[in-house]
């Protein structure tokens, strides 16, 4: 089997030790700021230095997450932190923000950059573009199959990393604004509130057709597919918010699987420690449809142990598999309601569980949500004393009246001890071997040892022990010192804006194209039309007498990819340019002379990202809808800036389709009946009776979810060059009113509108 790197998460120091002691080859964790798990404990630079030294002495790498979007004011501090990380010898930083990546590559060129999965890289072209920008490793999107991953790995020398276990985002990472738009907690800023784990109803037109946790997927597990993995550099476990016991259990299980000595009990432990209705292989082999989802409960299920066979209504229950439970185990009784009774078992008498009350019925299912024995075993693995050791090769040369030479791997230690001629019993190789193998309190173990010793020399046992102790101490210093740097810090330079606001042009992005567009054309300056509409209504699109652009989908895999590649010349002749949605789409235009606009899906959050996009030949950028008006005004832009002032913002782009899964009957073994090709409208309704529009795309079988409220922002005092109006299915009269309102820099008011992030930061 390929020598994969096993990469583990750590949200606190105990989790870090648990990861190392259970077989991780590398650990990823966050500093106090700028990482996508802001609610984890995280670490300051002093703590990181301590962690790094512990890890490096045990041949474990440390990667630091700088994987959030940063505004201009935060970039200098992030650069300062990156300097500190580089100087203490960090192995790599994980980055989402294109602007930060540009800065780090320019100011600290030898710092290894890993592209976060938040960068939404799903194709070889995206990998190649990031390689040009200085990235050494790419963490691919979780929506790829083994076949797609293999193709990428076989055609690049960039390191490739994939997730193999843990929680799945239902949206492409980096393309989810749901938590941000409805609760001001941005996943792009490390504060996701996980609204996908809440209950929803699926609405078809005006009728409820399904209920449950419709956006909540099961956790990913690759434990059954280890042998099918392509030649990947690193296998990543999700879970920086999980307990040290979780980290210990998952890491040790995958370590055993990779070493080919996993047992059935190990797999059972993996299920017990955390699962949501079992596991899923997600998109690794085929799309799972409904089978990927966990509609009943969004939290840990544990292991099913039986049903309630009796309940006295006050205190005691019995279940049909009581022998599977012990004092200290946690249980939950599923009564079909939201307040399922749960407890840690403290009384187990005569096959009865005591001290539990609630709305309990005979026949209710009982799940063991935690196992005391498993938790104790996991905790012991990282509290028993540090047993993780690095194997070393040792060569010892002992000559009369010469300093003793001890070579450990590539380091040579010369002792000031000079052996003398023995007066009685000379030292033997066996004695030296015995004493040198006593490496108990060091992070090393001897793999091979070669001893060259002249005859009839004397060394005392205490001298040999001192040799071993001093040699390994100096070797430890050598290891730690060679990883450190002393690069001088250079303060981040600013640059001036090239473009200032003048008369704002109007761009209209229309989701569905119809003949009424001719009534609006003279009111706008530019028209954006989705590729799917251009293909289906080519004649209408061609006839429009205005500046027009083809809007590429957020994700262009499979059919979309082939469609664009095979028709790029024809498409470019139809339009004045393209609105590009991710960096992996740039390759389409390598031989085409056309104008490119960077869509907001690039997560354009700071001036350096704009500067990077200019170098990639974009002519205009559409800023992130997560920026406030004041943040936009502070941008030093080298490209014209466009801002979305009206529309239902896309808050999720998903490879999973809630419509296909719940209406089309799509599962792993059943094809979708494609209800999306009909004219029905679908929504997800939340607990507040707010409706989020779902628009499936049957070309590549993806879905987009739109915000429940319509953004309408006043732009008269915002320093931008153009405004964008997004239309789904508003009437012609409504569109004309929207254009007139926003053309004057005003906004629409009412309970159905939101100011978005115009005045509230994420």
Instruction: Tally the C-alpha atoms within 13 A of residue 651's C-alpha that lie toward its C-beta.
Output: 31
Rounded Cα distance, 240 and 168, in Å:
13
Give 384-432 as a DSSP string. Answer: S-----EEEEEEEEE-TTSPPEEEETTEEEE-S---EE-SSS---HHHH
Q: What pLDDT, on the 0 to 100 scale, is given for residue 1?
A: 57
Beta carbons of 159 and 137 less than 8 angstroms apart: yes
In terms of DSSP H, where are the helices of 136-287? 146-154, 178-183, 244-258, 264-273
Helix, strand counts (H, E) of the chain: 19, 39
Residue 416 token pair:
């000031």
Q: What angle do CA 503, 504, 508 make, to 5 degrees?
A: 150
Cβ pair 513, 541 in contact under 8 A: yes
> Tokens 């028993």 map to which residue?
384
CA distance 686 to 693: 11
pLDDT < 50 regions, the chain: none
Give me the pLDDT at residue 298, please: 95
The residues, ordered by sequence, that sit 6+ positions from 411 with a Cβ below 8 Å of its Cβ are 474, 475, 478, 479
Per the rule left: phi > 0, alpha: psi between -120 and 50, beta: everything else, 449 is beta
Q: Which two tokens stand for residue 345?
A: 């078992």
Q: Is residue 582 within 8 Å of residue 561, measured between CB atoms?
A: no
* pTM assigned to the model: 0.96
* Residue 342: DSSP 8-state: E
Domain 5-168+217-282 -> CATH class: alpha beta
Question: E strand or H helix at 682, and its extent?
Answer: strand 682-685
Predicted pLDDT of residue 222: 98
Domain topology for 303-383: Thrombin, subunit H (2.40.10)
HSE value, Cβ hemisphere, 13 Å, CA-based, for 66: 28
CA 630 centroid distance within chain: 29
Contact (Cβ atoms closer than 8 angstroms) between residue 408 and residue 478: no
Query: Which CATH code fits 505-647+709-754?
Result: 3.20.20.70
User: Counting Cβ atoms within 10 Å, is residue 677 exposed (0-12), middle (13-18) or buried (19+)?
Assistant: exposed
CB neighbours of residue 230 within 10 Å: 16
Measured CA to CA in angstroms, residue 603 lies from 49, 98, 120, 162, 599 at distances of 32, 9, 11, 22, 8
Write b or e for each residue in 470-495: b if 16 or more Cβ atoms lie within 10 A of its Cβ, otherwise e. Answer: ebbebbbeebbeeeeeeeeeeebeee
346 Cα distance to chain centroid: 39
Give the helix ranges, DSSP H, for 538-679.
538-543, 558-574, 607-615, 629-633, 658-662
């Amino acid at each position: 089997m390929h020598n994969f790197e096993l990469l583990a998460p750590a949200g606190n120091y105990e989790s870090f030790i648990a990861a190392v002691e259970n077989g991780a080859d590398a650990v990823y964790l966050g500093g106090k700021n700028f990482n996508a798990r802001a609610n984890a404990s995280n670490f300051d630079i002093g703590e990181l230095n301590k962690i790094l030294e512990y890890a490096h002495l045990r041949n474990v790498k440390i990667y630091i997450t700088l994987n959030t979007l940063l505004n201009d004011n935060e970039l200098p501090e992030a650069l300062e932190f990156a300097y500190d990380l580089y100087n203490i010898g960090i192995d790599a930083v994980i980055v989402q923000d294109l602007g930060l990546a540009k800065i780090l590559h320019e100011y600290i060129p030898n710092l290894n950059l890993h592209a976060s999965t938040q960068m939404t890289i799903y194709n070889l072209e995206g990998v190649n573009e990031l390689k040009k920008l200085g990235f050494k490793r790419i963490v691919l999107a979780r929506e790829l199959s083994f076949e797609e991953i293999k193709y990428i790995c076989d055609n690049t020398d960039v390191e490739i990393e994939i997730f193999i276990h843990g929680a799945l985002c239902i949206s492409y990472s980096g393309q989810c604004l749901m938590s941000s738009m409805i609760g001001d907690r941005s996943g792009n800023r490390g504060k996701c509130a996980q609204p996908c784990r809440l209950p929803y109803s699926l609405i078809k037109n005006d009728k409820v057709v399904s209920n449950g946790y419709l956006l909540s997927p099961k956790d990913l597990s690759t434990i059954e597919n280890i042998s099918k993995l392509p030649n990947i550099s690193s296998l990543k476990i999700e879970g920086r918010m999980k307990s040290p016991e979780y980290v210990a259990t998952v890491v040790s299980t995958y370590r055993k699987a990779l070493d080919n000595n996993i047992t059935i009990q190990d797999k059972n432990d993996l299920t017990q420690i955390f699962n949501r209705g079992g596991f899923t292989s997600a998109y690794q082999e085929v799309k799972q449809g409904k089978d990927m989802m966990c509609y009943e409960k969004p939290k840990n299920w544990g292991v099913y142990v039986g049903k309630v066979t009796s309940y006295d209504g006050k205190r005691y229950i019995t279940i049909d598999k009581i022998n599977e439970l012990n004092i200290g185990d946690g249980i939950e009784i599923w009564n079909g309601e939201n307040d399922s009774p749960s407890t840690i078992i403290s009384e187990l008498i005569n096959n009865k569980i005591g001290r539990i009350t609630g709305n309990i019925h005979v026949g209710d299912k009982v799940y063991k949500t935690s196992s005391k024995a498993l938790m104790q075993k996991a905790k012991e693995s990282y509290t028993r004393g540090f047993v993780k050791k690095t194997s070393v090769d040792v060569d010892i040369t002992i000559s009369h009246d010469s300093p003793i030479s001890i070579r450990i791997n590539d380091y040579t230690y010369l002792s000031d001890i000079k052996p003398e001629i023995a007066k009685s019993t000379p030292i033997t190789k066996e004695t030296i071997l015995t004493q040198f193998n006593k490496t108990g309190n060091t992070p090393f173990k001897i793999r091979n040892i070669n001893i060259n010793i002249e005859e009839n020399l004397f060394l005392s046992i205490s001298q040999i022990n001192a040799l071993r102790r001093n040699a390994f101490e100096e070797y430890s210093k050598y290891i730690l010192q060679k990883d450190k740097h002393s690069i001088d810090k250079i303060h981040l330079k600013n640059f001036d804006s090239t473009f200032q606001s003048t008369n704002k042009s109007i761009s209209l992005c229309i989701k569905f194209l119809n003949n009424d567009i001719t009534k609006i054309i003279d009111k706008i300056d530019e028209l954006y039309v989705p590729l799917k509409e251009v293909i289906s209504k080519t004649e209408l699109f061609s006839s429009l007498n205005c500046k027009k652009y083809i809007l590429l989908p957020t994700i262009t895999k499979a059919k979309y990819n082939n469609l664009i590649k095979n028709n790029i010349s024809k498409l470019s002749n139809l339009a004045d340019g393209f609105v590009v949605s991710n960096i992996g789409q740039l390759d389409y235009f390598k031989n085409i002379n056309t104008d490119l606009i960077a869509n907001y899906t690039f997560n354009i959050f700071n001036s350096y990202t704009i500067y990077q996009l200019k170098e990639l030949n974009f002519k205009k950028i559409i800023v992130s809808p997560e920026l406030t008006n004041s943040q936009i005004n502070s941008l030093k832009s080298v490209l014209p800036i466009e801002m979305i002032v009206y529309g239902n913002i896309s808050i999720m782009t998903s490879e999973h389709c809630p419509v296909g899964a719940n209406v089309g009957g799509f599962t792993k073994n059943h094809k979708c009946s494609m209800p999306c090709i009909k004219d029905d409208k679908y929504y997800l309704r939340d607990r507040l009776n707010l409706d989020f529009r779902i628009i499936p795309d049957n070309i590549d079988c993806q879905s987009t979810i739109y915000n429940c409220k319509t953004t309408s922002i006043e732009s008269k005092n915002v320093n931008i060059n153009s405004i964008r109006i997004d239309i789904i299915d508003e009437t012609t009269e409504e569109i004309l009113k929207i254009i007139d309102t926003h053309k004057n820099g005003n906004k629409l008011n009412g309970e159905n509108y939101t100011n978005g992030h115009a005045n509230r930061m994420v």
